[in-house]
């Protein structure tokens, strides 16, 4: 290398080769397909990235490991610098005889008949809990049928799955001419399939769903135990995938947790990008309510918003329900909402944020008592057989009878991650197939927990 010339592209290429072996294909496609080596100087490698979002995510997620590999390969410390370079659009050649006319603004289409017009990316509040899913959805809407196909968005109730999947549909419908976007819930898909069989119009059903550019199916957990519908969706999936047509699905849990789903359909859902939506953190909850208040043009003080955000931690739907109750009270009695009024009006919401009045703590206490353990045993770190399996049973029951996500369950069981909860549920499910006494035990525990919930309500 001559003096003043610094080319570290070979080190960068080898670093990427090593990293590609260490992370999942989904991670690689999401974060590194859009990054390119640009140039370098004595101490710095300059990379091209498409947006500040990509830059920030790569720095947050991968910077230490990348710089460590570069140091090992090059023998000295190299830093990364990022240049944001958006993909240039092709321009028509400019005639020299006269100035180029400005491009005519693209006429906005009428709203899609089956999509909510307010379910768009501009109204989706992005926080740490959903930034990966939101940006993946945006990328899909801009380039359907390419890198992230299919895409499965999963998470608990009220976290924005429907908002996000319909945002994809609305954006693509407006962006591309003569683009056929079909949005349907899994329940409606099933009902239409049954009607097609009954009326002997299978060909019309197939034409509707296999001739689309984007197929959006909400709540695929509804397909469990519906064998013929699963078979039809499997063939629809294959037809669209082979034609490079985009598919996006939502589910209330990871697809691996769906019990009564055929293996080959499960493998199709897992083939592409799977992203999860987690409960929003405090800052995101606050931003969501502030935006809703601004849109409604009502006056509610920040201390009231903070009160709601600190007490309602479950999901966006519960947040908005609490706010709607306060706005209704203000309209009906013609009073400003004070902190005291908010505390009084929302006391029931704050004390029972989950439906059926069944909490994770209640499940833990009932299961612990049944197995002669303490509540803290199930929340602790001990992994002895006498504690580990009752803990797995408690996690399994929590997923069976509540709407808590695997992330929420894991947090309440000693800060475990969602994959631990998934493994626990799979273990219990497998053992039930070989141990005939386990299912009656679990059903007995569920009845005890529901009895406790009834008494507490």
| Domain finish residue from 248, 277, 306 | 277
Reference 163, options 132, 131, 134, 190; nearest CA is 134
Question: Is 97 inside any structural domain?
Answer: no
DSSP 262-286: -HHHHHHHTTSEEEEE----HHHHH
The pLDDT of residue 454: 52
Which pTM value belongs to this model?
0.58
**CATH number assigned to the domain comprising residue 334:** 1.10.8.60
Domain count, the chain: 4
**Residue 97: band (very low, low, confident or very high) from pLDDT cuts 50, 70, 90:** very low
Does the structure show a pLDDT above 50 at 109?
Answer: yes
Which of 49-53, 81-85, 139-143, 178-182 is least confident? 49-53
Question: Is 111 inside any structural domain?
Answer: no
Same domain, 266 and 288: no
Same domain, 51 and 132: no
Same domain, 207 and 127: yes
Question: Is 21 inside any structural domain?
Answer: yes
User: How are beta strands 44-49 and 79-84 bridged, if at all?
Assistant: parallel
Question: In which residue are the tokens 């197995």 written?
Answer: 371
Same domain, 143 and 190: yes
Highest mean pLDDT among 56-65, 355-364, 427-436: 427-436
Omega prior to 150 cis, within 30 of 0: yes
Phi (first) and psi of residue 273, to 5 degrees = -95, 125
The pLDDT of residue 214: 95
Instruction: Provide the residue range defining the domain that includes 337.
Output: 282-353
The whole-chain average pLDDT of the chain stands at 84
Same domain, 238 and 300: no
Q: How far apart are CA 319 and CA 314, in angstroms?
A: 8
The pLDDT of residue 195: 94
| Domain finish residue from 353, 388, 404 | 353
Reference 407, options 392, 397, 422; nearest CA is 422
Question: In which residue are the tokens 């399996």 written?
Answer: 389
Under a CB-based contact definition with an 8 Å cutoff, are residues 417 and 265 in contact? no
The pLDDT of residue 351: 64
Same domain, 138 and 226: yes
The pLDDT of residue 99: 47
Does the structure show a pLDDT above 80 at 91?
Answer: no
Reference 81, options 50, 48, 111; nearest CA is 48
Question: Is 302 inside any structural domain?
Answer: yes
32-49 pLDDT per residue, tens: 877 889 888 888 999 988
Mean pLDDT value of segment 304-314: 85
Does the structure show a pLDDT above 90 at 452?
Answer: no
DSSP 8-state code for residue 159? S
Mean pLDDT value of segment 310-321: 83
Question: Is 374 inside any structural domain?
Answer: yes
Which of 55-59, 231-235, 387-391 is least confident? 55-59
- Report helix, strand or coil for 115: coil
Q: How far apart are CA 293 and CA 270, in angstroms?
A: 38
- Token pair for 236: 């629809």
271-288 pLDDT per residue, tens: 888 988 888 888 888 888
Same domain, 226 and 321: no
Same domain, 378 and 268: no
Same domain, 311 and 195: no
Does the structure show a pLDDT above 70 at 100?
Answer: no
DSSP 8-state code for residue 96? S
**CATH number assigned to the domain comprising residue 410:** 1.10.1750.10
Same domain, 324 and 369: no
Same domain, 307 and 436: no
Same domain, 262 and 296: no
Highest mean pLDDT among 78-92, 97-111, 353-367: 353-367
Question: Is 1 inside any structural domain?
Answer: no
How many residues in the chain? 457
**CATH number assigned to the domain comprising residue 48:** 3.30.300.180
Sheet holding 246-251, edge to edge: 181-185, 214-218, 246-251, 151-155, 273-277
Sheet holding 44-49, edge to edge: 36-40, 44-49, 79-84
| Domain finish residue from 353, 373, 394 | 353
Question: In which residue are the tokens 């009932």 written?
Answer: 366
Mean pLDDT value of segment 249-269: 87
Question: Is 106 inside any structural domain?
Answer: no
Tell me the Cα Rg of the chain. 26
| Sign of the four-CA dihedral 279, 418, 132, 117 | negative
| Residues above pLDDT 70, as percent of the chain | 89
Question: Is 211 inside any structural domain?
Answer: yes
């Amino acid at each position: 290398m001559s003096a003043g010339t610094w080319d570290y592209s070979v080190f960068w290429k080898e670093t990427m080769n090593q990293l590609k072996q260490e992370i999942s294909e989904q991670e690689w496609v999401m974060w590194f397909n859009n990054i390119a080596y640009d140039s370098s100087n004595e101490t710095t490698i300059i990379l091209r990235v498409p947006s500040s979002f990509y830059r920030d995510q790569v720095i947050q997620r991968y910077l230490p490991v990348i710089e460590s590999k570069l140091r090992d390969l090059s023998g000295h410390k190299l830093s990364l610098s990022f240049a944001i370079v958006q993909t240039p659009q092709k321009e028509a050649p400019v005639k020299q005889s006269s100035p180029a006319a400005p491009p005519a603004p693209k006429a906005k289409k009428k709203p899609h008949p089956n999509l909510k017009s307010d379910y768009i990316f501009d109204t989706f509040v992005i926080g740490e809990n959903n930034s990966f899913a939101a940006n993946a959805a945006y990328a899909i809407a801009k380039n359907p049928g390419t890198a992230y196909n299919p895409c499965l968005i999963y998470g608990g109730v009220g976290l924005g799955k429907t908002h996000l999947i319909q945002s994809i549909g609305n954006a693509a419908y407006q962006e591309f001419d003569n683009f056929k976007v079909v949005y349907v819930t899994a329940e409606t898909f099933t009902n239409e399939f049954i009607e097609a069989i009954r009326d002997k119009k299978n060909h019309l059903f197939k034409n509707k769903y296999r001739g689309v550019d984007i197929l959006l199916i909400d709540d695929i957990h509804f397909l469990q135990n519906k064998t013929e519908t699963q078979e039809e969706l499997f063939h629809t999936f294959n037809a669209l995938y082979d034609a490079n047509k985009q598919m996006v699905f939502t589910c209330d849990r990871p697809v691996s947790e769906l019990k009564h789903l055929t293996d080959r359909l499960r493998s199709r859902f897992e083939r592409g990008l799977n992203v999860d939506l987690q409960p929003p953190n405090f800052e995101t909850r606050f931003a969501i309510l502030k935006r809703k208040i601004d849109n409604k043009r009502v006056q509610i003080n920040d201390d009231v918003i903070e009160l709601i955000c600190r007490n309602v931690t479950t999901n966006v739907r519960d947040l908005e329900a609490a706010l709607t109750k306060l706005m209704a009270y203000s309209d009906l009695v013609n009073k400003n909402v004070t902190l005291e009024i908010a505390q009084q009006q929302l006391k029931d919401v704050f004390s029972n944020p989950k439906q059926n009045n069944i909490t994770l703590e209640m499940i833990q206490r009932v299961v612990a008592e049944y197995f002669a353990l303490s509540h803290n045993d199930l929340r602790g770190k001990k992994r002895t057989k006498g504690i580990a399996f009752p803990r797995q049973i408690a996690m399994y029951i929590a997923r069976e009878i509540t709407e808590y996500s695997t992330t929420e369950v894991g947090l309440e069981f000693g800060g475990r991650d969602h994959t631990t909860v998934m493994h626990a549920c799979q273990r219990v499910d497998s053992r039930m197939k070989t141990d005939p006494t386990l299912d009656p035990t679990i059903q007995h525990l569920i009845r005890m927990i529901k009895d406790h919930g009834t008494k507490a309500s």
